[in-house]
Structure 1
């Protein structure tokens, strides 16, 4: 998710290649692409074989130290383009890799590599970085340290194994807690990424760091799918996470682990009040936190005479929203799920979540699930929720 330059001499072979690349035909470009592909194949094999000497021979010796702690099941590049430059070439490539024991399918990452050429015409890598518009990978930010837990893998930069072990302990408690509420039909393990700073968190997510200020953690990965997608990554904001108490830290990791567990049943039809509220519901189970303790912003609004009249919309959950309004959205979703569990039972809550996600489209998904699973209507449900919010927080 960086390199020592070598001298480059054009020589007779290099001149021939330069002329062919500059020509109208594609033969030279195709030849270069094949050569670079072979180079990256050797590089991948060296990494998977834990052969640092062979890896260093392909270029950027310092990069192996960043990657060697990653427990990899696979690692490969597919070169998509090669362009000649004054100092060598640049290549576009799709990197596919799997973390051993965690990823069901390869994670895809678009990369841009710069290449030099030796006097005898051999390519070597001088840098390997994210393609324009692509997020960083953790190793782009420094050497990766890995800590394995019973149900977790924590990968971090800037922290020792001892520093990361606390995250593993919390994640190991989160996984069985989620399974008790949701069921065991998921991978039952989680990968946690701990970057060095909020800025680095933004780099991993490919978004401005300011979007995540005050957000303790997020979960990556597309919603829905066939269940063949790779495991989600829980990405921690070390700055916001550090100010939380022990209970808060556990709630955050359990919340994010819930997203990993429910991802296959979370589709475009699932409103955020349900997906975020359900994750908070599991997160707070067993903590002993009262509604006024767990929903302070909504409590303040209710007591100030500004109780909500509608369930939170998806727009209310935007990370760029006002912090108080964002908190109220999460708290409102949590209370909705808490109400379902209290009135209809925890099993019905899980069934309701799955029924909503079973729809391919948003239209009618919640309405049908309310009718078929809870035996109510959107209007009656919303009214019950309004009364519940007031009764719990007044």
Structure 2
């Protein structure tokens, strides 16, 4: 996923001189020099990290991050100090960290950090700890030393994982990228970053949420919706505990599904309902697997055969990770069958155009309705009835 100035009254005669020397804000409140000093410290620290100069990095404080980040290929790394708070033993600073992974991030990834600072006898600041800000998610290196494995189309980063384990993920991701591109097209980076933490708790820490929210969820994709191509923070985050129980096909489907989210991010906006974004990702994920509808949608199959065909497409709320597992599965299966129906009746090109047309709108209201009319030539009511009939015919 600010500190201020110390007040002081300056006489009118010396005001202009003091202003030019110290800098003032808010009607004559002098700036705390510590903020500038800490910014310079973090600038030196960033330069040492990028320059692989461990000695220079150590001169700025703790070497923990340098050691843990050694394997991460960085194109940029910079802090912007937003606040400094003095303490009895030194200070703490709030900062915005921006960084780019070389070859993968098109713009900086942002992270809020809190740094603990000490001060030497001669007044020099140094860093004693660099941690996620309150209510901010962890970064992978907060959980331990990062191991990196680079594939043909992927970069897999893990903590507490062997290189051999990470290479298996890279192989799956390398198959997922071209599979997605064959259907969606080439207008995306065609590269994916996969994070493999040590455990479910590690996954939850990266996402800034309780572990219970992701129990049973094999992987998720981060990144802000509606980035118009500016979503460099897209990361596929794996839950190693849930992922481990999947078979080979299931693991491939999951990685292809999540890679689809990375590919479609620029065209996925607040207007895109989750039944479409999740259904489309599942549709690509299952392409070519040979899975029948009843095999891929077991929970919805049971409901249909019990006479409980859904009356409407699932809402966004139905996709909540904390929802009832059966209802959550039915929501995903319903979205998948909706996209599968569009591809079968209108063609894959129309499904692609429909997805993009919905995402071209920046607000939800009217987005699906307009795309149904202009791309598929139908109405929400007619589409829903067609989908319900399709579900019954495929699963009944």
Deviation at residue 327 of structure 1 after TM alignment: 0.2
Which residue of structure 1 aligns with residue 362 of structure 2?
Answer: 360
Cα deviations across residues 47-82 of structure 1 (Å, max 9, x unaligned)?
000111111121112321111111000000011111
Deviation at residue 28 of structure 1 after TM alignment: 7.8
CA–CA separation in structure 1 for the residues paired with 2:237 and 2:31: 39
Cα deviations across residues 285-322 of structure 1 (Å, max 9, x unaligned)?
01110001100100111111111111111110011100
Matches within 5 A, 1:127-206: 127-206=129-208
Runs of 4+ residues deviating >2 angstroms: 21-30
Output the TM-score relative to the length of structure 2.
0.92
Contact 1:191–1:231 under 8 Å retained in 2: no
Which residue of structure 2 aligns with residue 267 of structure 1?
Answer: 269
Cα deviations across residues 205-246 of structure 1 (Å, max 9, x unaligned)?
111111011110001011122313315101000110000000
Do residues 207 (structure 1) and 213 (structure 2) align?
no
* SS in structure 2 at match of 1:35: helix
Q: Report how many residues are paired.
A: 375
CA–CA separation in structure 1 for the residues paired with 2:392 and 2:275: 18
* SS in structure 2 at match of 1:114: strand
* SS in structure 2 at match of 1:83: strand
Which residue of structure 2 aligns with residue 247 of structure 1?
Answer: 249
Do residues 340 (structure 1) and 346 (structure 2) align?
no
Matches within 5 A, 1:1-80: 24=8, 30-80=32-82
Cα deviations across residues 168-200 of structure 1 (Å, max 9, x unaligned)?
000000000000010001010000011111111
Question: Considering only aligned residues, what root-mean-square deviation do their CA atoms show, in Å?
Answer: 1.5
CA–CA separation in structure 1 for the residues paired with 2:360 and 2:7: 55
CA–CA separation in structure 2 for the residues paired with 1:209 and 1:78: 31
CA–CA separation in structure 1 for the residues paired with 2:207 and 2:128: 25
Which range moved further: 53-62 or 316-325? Answer: 53-62
CA gap of 1:22–1:312, structure 2 versus 1, over 3 A, is closer
Contact 2:109–2:232 under 8 Å retained in 1: yes
Contact 1:190–1:231 under 8 Å retained in 2: no
Do residues 216 (structure 1) and 218 (structure 2) align?
yes
Which residue of structure 2 aligns with residue 237 of structure 1?
Answer: 239
Deviation at residue 23 of structure 1 after TM alignment: 6.8
Output the TM-score relative to the length of structure 1.
0.93
CA–CA separation in structure 1 for the residues paired with 2:47 and 2:32: 22
Contact 1:114–1:128 under 8 Å retained in 2: yes
CA gap of 1:231–1:80, structure 2 versus 1, over 3 A, is closer
Contact 2:98–2:109 under 8 Å retained in 1: yes
Do residues 283 (structure 1) and 285 (structure 2) align?
yes
Which residue of structure 2 aligns with residue 331 of structure 1?
Answer: 333
CA–CA separation in structure 2 for the residues paired with 1:270 and 1:22: 47
CA–CA separation in structure 1 for the residues paired with 2:65 and 2:106: 26
Contact 1:255–1:282 under 8 Å retained in 2: yes
Contact 1:29–1:82 under 8 Å retained in 2: no
Cα deviations across residues 77-112 of structure 1 (Å, max 9, x unaligned)?
011111111111101111000010111111111110
CA–CA separation in structure 1 for the residues paired with 2:116 and 2:128: 5
* SS in structure 2 at match of 1:275: helix
Contact 1:102–1:231 under 8 Å retained in 2: no
Structure 2 gap segments, 5+ residues each: 10-23
Which residue of structure 1 aligns with residue 12 of structure 2?
Answer: none
CA gap of 1:231–1:205, structure 2 versus 1, over 3 A, is closer
Cα deviations across residues 6-51 of structure 1 (Å, max 9, x unaligned)?
xxxxxxxxxxxxxxx9775788862111111111111000100011
